[in-house]
Amino acid sequence: MAQVSGSRRRKRKTVNCEECRRSKLRCDRQHPCGACKRRRRDASCSYEVSTDVPSPANTHRTAATAQASTVFGNRVGSPCTPSRQNLARASASQQGLQVSETDQLPLDTHWETVLERPAPESDAYDASSPLSIGLRMSLQEIIESLPPKPCCDYLVSHFFKNISTLFPILHGPTFQKQYTRFMQRPPDIDIPWLALLFSMCSLALNTMDESDPRLARYLSQLPSSPAQVPATVYVSRRLLRTAMTCLLKDNFFVNHKFSTFEALLMVIYNLSHNESVDQGWALLGMALNIGIALRCNVDQNLSPIETERRRRCWAGLLTLHTYQGMLFRDVDMSYLLNIKSSLPANVNDSDITDEGKLHPSSRGEPTQMSVMLDKVRLFRLSTEICRHISGPSRLDQHLLHEIDTAIAQEQKQWDFTYMVDGSPSILDSTSYAYWCVLQTYAHHLYLLLHRPFHHSRSSLFLPTSRERCISSSKALISIHRELYEAPLLRNYLWLLSGVTSLKALHAAVALNSCLQDVSSVIDSTYDLDSLREEIENMVIRMKDLSGRSNICSRAYRILRHLQSQTGTRDTPAGSVGTQETQFETLFDEWTDIREWMDTDLINWVGGNLDGAFNVFAP
């Protein structure tokens, strides 16, 4: 249809202000909006109205973008939108600009999606971008990028020994048969299953030390890792990216099977524990839809093994949603509770055969599914808590005590299942690791629950809530230290690369808020210097872990800035009351970390505490 020269289409009404659109935040459409007020960005809150008629310059850029899109289409095995930064570079090259000049392009050239982050042109395998898409690969090239068989055997064995029980969506004997079949006839492999294998090897490698002699030959044959990034972490991210390449090659957006569901869940779990919870958010929604489409929540008259495999994956899907619900407090996951499903049996892999299942152990000993079932109960409890704290019932003290008791009951059960007379078992270090993991959930939930009542300036102040916040913050930081230092937990240091360190960061913010409060009333009940030392030691740990984890790197920067703002020894006279108010506000908003994920939005040079830490605002 011909377009009339010079005609203009009608203007489209802008729904959100520019700041909220860029930060992907909820906008109340006021002027200035509430989000910009909280972030002290009143002056930059604008509702710019755009038209559909492109200017000549825009027309030129659109042509350049289309050409860049063609280039990217030739690199990727299935349709995928290229990153805006790379498109901006392509556009700049069309206009005769040097690549270095594109660094000065406006901020709106950045692509804000969790599926693909900008990748450097010089290296398709950027160590900091496990989800950026590399070159198109043939099936043979994908297979050849696997570790050699002896190393692959070692990684798979390590996975089932040290990782699988924390996320037991696989049936070990079934995977063994699939693995043997693949090694005998690699070209006949199901590509999503290959994605699962790559993700497992990636996760296993990221939990291991680069000094391991069994990895030396394999690592020496690969390109050197960037400075300050361990070789195991660097190669792990390469393998994870290849897992995504496999899924793309199989067109998992439209074609999916049960192996696709398994692989996608493993990729999301990998991201949550080694990169960032938010990166798996869009993939998690796809996994949910695929699981429903495959009816994995419904028993389908299959064999006992196939039935249990689907039940396990559905339970794994629910536990992955627990991270989102607890770390993004306004996301209501309660709709998942309305989807009827059967829980997996509380048995070991060897107890499930094609003939049937053995009955669960009555001796109270943990099975390979015990942690998963504990996590499913936590998902149900955390969903109830997140719905409670997001609504008017959050101020109901009776309900507060009921939920507090429910969390305590779960903790009591874990003591019975995973500890020996209240102490870690030296005969089975894995049980202690499971106990530590579950306790991080419990104490994080305590902080969410008691936040409105923790500060003496609040009209709803409860001394017991402040005590609970202090004790749970200490417990989270202590578990962080145990996972870092305890020889018994050496195989679980990798847990600090992801969501566990996020919880510890939140604990530090909560504890600082409580410390400012008790300092003002000169409460001798607490050893304030000891508590501050705990935070200082955690800062040191975060710095040391920065090379392995983007989360720890960001947490280190935030904690250092937090220290500079809260050093009481250098606090000017008369400013104590101001600090108390700032920290009351800070802890009141600390649980929402969406903006914290983007460190470019943090005002590191601002002198005002609220301005520097509005990353936690809702």
**Residue 179 C-beta-side C-alpha neighbours within 13 Å:** 21
**Residue 536 C-beta-side C-alpha neighbours within 13 Å:** 9
> Does 66 have pLDDT greater than 70?
no
Mean pLDDT of 432-448: 95
420: which strand partners? 423
Under 8 Å between Cβ of 424 and 482: no
Is the whole-model pTM more than 0.95? no
Q: What percent of the chain has pLDDT over 90?
A: 44
The 3 state secondary structure assigned to 358-401 is: CCCCCCCCCCCCHHHHHHHHHHHHHHHHHHHHCCHHHHCHHHHH
Main-chain phi, psi angles of 423, to 5 degrees:
-125, 160
Under 8 Å between Cβ of 539 and 556: yes
> Would you call 357 helix, strand, or coil by DSSP?
strand
- Range from 61-65, 100-104, 391-395, 498-502 that averages highest in pLDDT: 498-502
Under 8 Å between Cβ of 290 and 226: no
pLDDT, one tens digit per residue, over 222-252 is: 888 887 788 998 999 999 999 999 999 999 9
pLDDT of residue 402: 93
CB crowding 500-523: b at 16 or more within 10 Å, else e: bbbbbbbbbbbbbbbbbbbbeeee
Residue 82 vs residue 455, higher pLDDT:
455
pLDDT, one tens digit per residue, over 337-396 is: 889 899 999 999 999 998 888 776 555 678 999 999 999 999 999 988 888 887 788 788
Other beta carbons within 10 angstroms of residue 599's beta carbon come to 14
pLDDT of residue 442: 96
Mean pLDDT of 477-501: 93
352: which strand partners? 357
Mean pLDDT of 87-98: 40
pLDDT of residue 551: 84
DSSP code per residue over 205-231: HHTS-TT-HHHHHHHHTSPPPPTTS-H
Residues 76 and 82: their CA atoms lie apart, in Å, by 9
Residues 194 and 191: their CA atoms lie apart, in Å, by 5
Other beta carbons within 10 angstroms of residue 608's beta carbon come to 13
pLDDT of residue 133: 52
- Range from 65-69, 187-191, 426-430, 560-564 that averages highest in pLDDT: 187-191
Q: What percent of the chain has pLDDT over 70?
A: 72
pLDDT, one tens digit per residue, over 323-341 is: 777 766 667 788 898 898 9
Residue 491 vs residue 227, higher pLDDT:
491
> Does 106 have pLDDT greater than 80?
no
pLDDT of residue 268: 94
- Mean per-residue pLDDT over the chain, rounded: 77
439 falls in which pLDDT band (50, 70, 90)?
A: very high
Residue 511: name the closest of 609, 458, 411, 586 by CA.
586
pLDDT, one tens digit per residue, over 539-592 is: 999 999 998 888 898 889 888 887 776 653 343 434 444 444 444 444 444 444
> Does 75 have pLDDT greater than 70?
no
Query: CA dist 81 to 60, 117, 163, 281, Å?
Result: 19, 11, 34, 18
- Enter the DSSP assignment of 192: H
Mean pLDDT of 170-198: 96
